[in-house]
Amino acid sequence: MGKTHVSYPSGLVGVLIIAWFQTALRGVFRRAIAFELADGRKFWLSGMYDGVEAMIEAIENRTTPLTLADSRESIRRTGAAAFGPITVRPDGLIVDNKKITWRHIEYAGLQSGIGKFVIKLHGVPEPWYSVKDTTVPNASACMHLMVELKQAEHATRPIDESTASA
């Protein structure tokens, strides 16, 4: 990581050069993005700059696959991958020291339009868990991993003969 300065007739601009693997997305908002570096420094890119949507897309497209690969490796090695307050495991999630299995989860992820990361349970109208989307770093990678693990758990779950149709 380094810093570059670019001189323009109207002033001087400092540009921080950051490796993709050092970036954790904190949230994407209407034309703005918040992210955090591996060393804990936090940055906010305002939507007032031209091209911020393209930058948001570039950051998400480059960081999500790297974070997803790291998270899969963490699950392989330790059985869990942490995304802020949410710990993803092969058998479900741990949130605020409460364990919930995949079979109980109807939906987990970003709720578009309201800026929240929510977990909804089957048959329950209100979210079981809801926080600002900036609370869950790399929410996109977290969502991808949850979908993969939920599908894998569902595919390996034994069929209940008493409820299976002929």
Extract the tokens encoding 55: 């930058």
Is residue 48 included in any domain, yes or no?
yes
Q: What is the mean pLDDT of residues 53-79?
A: 85
Is residue 161 included in any domain, yes or no?
no
Contact 100, 87 (CB under 8 A): no
Q: Nearest Cα to 102, choosing from 94, 93, 111?
A: 93
Mean pLDDT estimate for the chain? 76
Residue 139, classified by CB atoms within 10 Å of its CB into exposed (0-12), middle (13-18) or buried (19+), is buried
pLDDT(104) > 90: yes
Contact 4, 15 (CB under 8 A): yes
Is residue 166 included in any domain, yes or no?
no
Is residue 150 included in any domain, yes or no?
yes
Is residue 40 included in any domain, yes or no?
yes
- Name the residue with higher pLDDT: 152 or 11: 152
Question: 0.95 cut: is pTM over it?
Answer: no
Q: What is the mean pLDDT of residues 55-68?
A: 79
Is residue 163 included in any domain, yes or no?
no
Is residue 130 included in any domain, yes or no?
yes
Where in the chain does DSSP place strands (E)? 2-8, 11-17, 23-29, 32-37, 42-45, 81-83, 86-89, 92-95, 98-101, 105-111, 116-121, 129-132
pLDDT of residue 57: 74
Could you tell me the residue range of the domain that residue 44 belongs to?
2-156
Is residue 89 included in any domain, yes or no?
yes
**Per the structure, how many domains does the chain have?**
1
Query: Looking at residue 49, what DSSP letter applies?
Result: S
